[in-house]
Amino acid sequence: MSIKAEYIWIDGTKPTPLLRSKTKILAEGQEPPVWGFDGSSTNQAEGHSSDCVLNPVFVCPDPIRGGDSILVLNEVLDIDMKPHVSNTRRATAEVAEKYADQDMWFGMEQEYTFLEDGHPLGWPRGGFPGPQGPYYCGVGADEVYGRDIVEAHLDACIEAGLKISGINAEVMMGQWEFQIGPAGVVEVGDHMWIARWLLYRIAEDFNVAATIDPKPMPGDWNGAGCHTNFSTELMRNDYDACIAAAEVLGKHHTEHISQYGPGVERRLTGMHETAPWTEYSYGVSNRGASVRIPWQVEVDKKGYIEDRRPNANMDPYIVAKLITEVVCEDAAS
Ligand code: ADP
Ligand code: MN
Ligand code: MN
Ligand code: MN
């Protein structure tokens, strides 16, 4: 029997890359081989030398097609087999390898918004829903929209074997969240990109789009973030290491914030459970700080911390790399 392999990759669209995919038929038992695509159609090459290479990096069962079908996540290479400029995974893999002995774990909370004909799902046409308050973790047809899509996505992620750890309805009507983790430095990005692809793909069947725009509705409506929780083995055993990590992130605030997703200044206004993008702060239980130390972590005197700054449209490879680099280097020195 032939096997359907859906080759997925991250394109070169700016400022926020898009996911692309196409199908390859494999013979039974065949390892997914290197493949190619037309980079001039994905903002990854000029027309006169348009070939780019798809190099498989992560394979999982395909919950959409089922059976023996698979999803194949790829990194993009140039034809000389060196990483393409849009390939952010390779540098992350190098950093992960360098600090592997510190056993970094990540848990990322992906917020997103469903859109129907360009409107957030459930919103009255030409108007606004009631103010925020009842929608977060809500129940009932007047408060929650899109649960059927969310449940189908959750099942698909589990069937694909992704490290999905939960879902919830969010503060703005039509907004939701799923969490990936705890997972390794590169693994969290691999699972996140596949989970994003599954979200778009499943919502497609409901004639709904999902967006990771960090501020889909201007005004008094919450933006969408991707809170990034992390811990080294030392942090999981020692509170001082958790504080040290929060301190070192502050030293790199300016350099990091510009790489936490395009439009971060539109979302991190200091309102709607955010800290202003111009300042760094951390605190216990503080959802108005850049970095939160969960109350349980203060009680247990060990655990992890939450970087609340990354936007929903961040690249999980880049964010995991930046945090691993500075936190692990600081702990090693
Ligand atoms: P919040 O209370 O901020 O909404 P969530 O429950 O949505 O938090 O997400 C927390 C994430 O942190 C989950 O993905 C979880 O797996 C992850 N996590 C839990 N413990 C750790 C840890 N020690 N290191 C890294 N991530 C962790
Ligand atoms: Mn959450
Ligand atoms: Mn959230
Ligand atoms: Mn959070």
Ordered per-residue pLDDT tens for the chain, 333 residues: 899 999 999 999 999 999 999 999 999 999 999 999 999 999 999 877 899 999 999 999 999 999 999 999 999 999 999 999 999 999 999 999 999 999 999 999 999 999 999 999 999 998 999 999 999 999 999 999 999 999 999 999 999 999 999 999 999 999 999 999 999 999 999 999 999 999 999 999 999 999 999 999 999 999 999 999 999 999 999 999 999 999 999 999 999 999 999 999 999 999 988 999 999 999 999 889 999 999 999 999 999 999 999 999 999 999 999 999 999 999 998
What per-residue confidence (pLDDT) applies to 157? 99
pTM summary value: 0.98
CB 257 within 8 A of CB 10: no
Residue among 25, 200, 41 nearest 115 (CA): 200
How many Å apart are CA 111 and CA 107, to the nearest integer? 13
**Ligand number, closest to the Cα atom of 181:** 1
CA-to-CA dists, residue 134 to 57, 139, 140, angstroms: 42, 9, 10
Region of 134 (left: φ > 0; alpha: ψ -120 to 50; beta: rest) is alpha
308 exposure class (CB count in 10 Å sphere: 0-12, 13-18, 19+): buried
How many Å apart are CA 43 and CA 38, to the nearest integer? 9
What per-residue confidence (pLDDT) applies to 232? 98
225 lines ligand 1 (CB under 6 A): no
Q: What is the Å distance from ligand 1's center to 285 Cα?
A: 14
Cα end-to-end span (Å), the chain: 55
- Output the CATH code of domain 2-87: 3.10.20.70
Q: What share of the chain is helix, strand, coil (3-state, %, to 5)?
A: 30, 25, 45
What per-residue confidence (pLDDT) applies to 22? 98
How many Å apart are CA 30 and CA 143, to the nearest integer? 48
Residue minimizing CA distance to atom 1 of ligand 1: 109
154: three-class secondary structure by DSSP:
helix
The topology (CATH level 3) of 95-332 is: Creatine Kinase; Chain A, domain 2 (3.30.590)
Q: Domains of the chain: which residue ranges? A: 2-87, 95-332
* Atom of ligand 1 at shortest range from CA of 235: 23
Q: What is the Å distance from ligand 4's center to 306 Cα?
A: 7
CA-to-CA dists, residue 151 to 166, 200, 313, angstroms: 11, 14, 22
Ligand 1, residues 157, 188, 229, 234: which to mutate, most atoms within 8 A of Cβ?
229
227 lines ligand 1 (CB under 6 A): yes
24: three-class secondary structure by DSSP:
strand
Q: Which residues pair with 52 in a beta bridge?
A: 37
What per-residue confidence (pLDDT) applies to 310? 98
Q: What is the Å distance from ligand 2's center to 177 Cα?
A: 7
The token pair that represents 119 in the structure block: 């409107």
